[in-house]
């Protein structure tokens, strides 16, 4: 499959999204600095409390940026992403501690980090999708309506799709239709017992 071509409109939208994500991150980091620094001072960090919040926020940015880069290069390292979200959760907890036990204050401290997390997750999803398409390795998913209307047969269909690395949903549906027609012909000719025990790969 050919690589995705970005138009001028796409580039403008990407620029707007990146700028917005940077603004969200800057607001969140600026807002959390004072609360985390005060907490660090209370816990006896001394002068290190001045740089402790910066170290956490910089670590989050570096880990997420490196995760996006490696995902784009199709060599993802999941520990980067997991560590970044662990640091983000820690930052939310540190900020929430400043407002505890006020639930509204804790929620207000969590809003900006959650926005940042969602923004980066969306970017990672897009990067991963584009990288997979470029490598012709993207697997289409099974439709949600099929899962809802017929969960067990859909699971079997999804399992065969993964086992045989079939990437096109339409191709899988066509093969499933052919399989059912062939099975019906076997049953009509030899009886239901011939197809009663399906192969393990099904």
pLDDT tens string 72-98: 777 778 888 888 888 888 887 877 776
d(CA 104, CA 96): 10
pLDDT of residue 202: 46
Residue matched to tokens 């993802």? 76
pLDDT of residue 197: 52
Q: Rg of the chain over CA atoms, in angstroms?
A: 25
> What is the dihedral sign for C-alpha 11, 14, 20, 24?
negative
d(CA 92, CA 171): 45
Question: pTM of the entire structure?
Answer: 0.52
List, in order, residues 6 or more apart from 174 with CB less than 8 Å away: none
Query: What count of other Cβ atoms lies within 10 Å of the Cβ of residue 113?
Result: 22
Task: List, run by run, the mean pLDDT of 10-residue segments along the chain (202 residues).
Answer: 62 79 78 77 81 84 83 79 83 74 73 75 72 57 82 85 78 86 84 58 46
DSSP letter for each residue of 7-34: -HHHHHHHHHHHHHHHHHHHHHHHHHHH
Enumerate the domain spans of the chain: 8-134, 144-195
pLDDT of residue 98: 67
């Amino acid at each position: 499959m050919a690589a995705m071509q970005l138009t001028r409109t796409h580039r403008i939208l990407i620029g707007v999204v990146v700028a917005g994500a940077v603004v969200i991150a800057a607001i969140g980091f600026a807002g959390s600095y004072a609360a985390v620094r005060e907490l660090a001072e209370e816990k006896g960090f001394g002068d290190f409390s001045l740089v402790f919040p910066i170290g956490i926020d910089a670590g989050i940015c570096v880990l997420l940026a490196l995760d996006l880069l490696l995902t784009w290069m199709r060599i993802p390292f999941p520990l980067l992403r997991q560590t970044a979200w662990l640091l983000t959760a820690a930052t939310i907890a540190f900020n929430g501690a400043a407002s505890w036990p006020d639930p509204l204050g804790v929620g207000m401290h969590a809003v900006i980090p959650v926005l940042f997390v969602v923004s980066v997750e969306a970017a990672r999803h897009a990067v991963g999708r584009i990288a997979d398409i470029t490598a012709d390795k993207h697997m289409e998913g099974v439709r949600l309506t099929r899962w809802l209307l017929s969960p067990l047969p859909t699971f079997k269909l999804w399992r065969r799709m993964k086992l045989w690395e079939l990437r096109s949903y339409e191709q899988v549906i066509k093969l499933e239709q052919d399989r059912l027609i062939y099975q019906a012909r076997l049953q009509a000719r030899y009886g239901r017992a011939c197809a009663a025990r399906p192969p393990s790969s099904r």
